Structure formats: structure tokens, C-alpha cells
Amino acid sequence: MRILLKLVIDCDADAAWRALHSPTAVAELYGPLMQMAPLADPPTSFETGTDAPVSLSVAGIVPVGSQLISVSDRETTDAAGARVRIFRDSGMPLTGPLAALDVWDHQMAVSPAPGDPTRTLWRDRLVIGGRAAPLLWPTLWAAWQWRAARLRALAPTWAHDPEPGA
């Protein structure tokens, strides 16, 4: 089963790519509804080969389970020749309701928005599988709609390059 998002956000693709690799920025995508906290020494950045166990909770109060974030990056080009960078989390839910899933494959692709390189085309795909997938899909779909709203709200804050001479 799949959950897909495709939206244009208000930051350039470089800023979106940096945010995808920031544990703080990634955690903010779920807040304040859900909180994600490291279970071990948190990485300073999610880079290819990073394995980061995290806990998830509702509002930081009700534990929901834990998950392993396992990162790999790749790059390709789209039909128009634009650079597309893909962040893949192939980790798995470890505990909690989502641990009933047999498949968890989360990929996020960023590229310059067509016609406006100051904005980013963000594509987000979650593939889940297993007997529990049909039961968990509606909740995950709702969570991904929340992610889309948070992406739109947070993206303008990701561009942090200092002004020249500042």
C-alpha cells in the first residue's frame, strides 16, 4: 500500500535537502502532534549509512513506539534534465502498532520546482506492507496530510544562508 504527497514548498531545493538531513528539522515535521526523540546518541546529520533509533509519542506524553531510521541517498535527473535528490529511509518500526508492518519504505525526493528554482518540488512516498497495512493505512494517510501542512509551514524557515556581508 502507498501514501503519496506531491507539493511545491517555499524554499529552494538545497535548503529542502539540508532539512531532510537534519534530525531537528525532520522531528519538527510531526510536531507538536507527535514528538520524535533519539534513543541513542543522535546523529548531527542523517547521512547515507546512518542508523538512528527513535521513539515516537503523542505530544511527548503517550508513547507510540520506536522506529529505526536507516538512511541512504541517491541522485538522478528528471525528464527535463533537472537534478532530483532522493532521501530513503528503509528502517522499520521496532515497537508499537507500526511494528506489525512487514514493509516500510519511505522515500522523499526534492528538485527545483518547474519554472521557479527558488521553490522546491517535494515528492514523498511511503510504501507499507503486511497483514496490518490495511488497518494502519488510514492513520498513516492522515499523518502524511499533517506532514504536508507542516512542510508548507516550515519550508520558508529552512533557508538559512546568511545575507552577503552579514
Nearest to 25 by CA among 50, 55, 46: 46
User: Is 9 within a domain?
Assistant: yes
Q: For 55-99, how does the pLDDT look when each residue is reduced to its tens digit (9 = 90+)?
A: 999 888 899 999 999 999 999 999 888 899 999 999 999 999 999
Average pLDDT, the chain: 91
User: Is 78 within a domain?
Assistant: yes
Q: For 8-42, how does the pLDDT look when each residue is reduced to its tens digit (9 = 90+)?
A: 999 999 999 999 999 989 889 888 888 888 998 88
SS3 label, residue 70: strand
- Residue 54 reports pLDDT greater than 80: yes
User: Is 164 within a domain?
Assistant: no
Q: How confident is the model at residue 166 (pLDDT cuts 50, 70, 90)?
A: very low
Domain with 18, as residue range(s), is 2-158
What pLDDT is attached to residue 160?
65
User: Is 165 within a domain?
Assistant: no
Number of domains in the chain: 1
User: Is 40 within a domain?
Assistant: yes
- Residue 131 reports pLDDT greater than 90: yes
115: domain CATH number is 3.30.530.20
The reply to whether the predicted model has a pTM over 0.75 is yes
Alpha helices in 5-164 (DSSP H): 13-20, 23-28, 133-158
77-81, 101-105, 111-115: the lowest-pLDDT one: 77-81
User: Is 166 within a domain?
Assistant: no
Which 8-state DSSP code applies to residue 162? P
Query: CA-to-CA distance for 49 and 28, rounded, in angstroms?
Result: 22
What pLDDT is attached to residue 32?
83
User: Is 29 within a domain?
Assistant: yes
The angle that helices 133-158 and 13-20 make with each other, rounded to 10 degrees, is 130
Q: How confident is the model at residue 161 (pLDDT cuts 50, 70, 90)?
A: low
User: Is 134 within a domain?
Assistant: yes
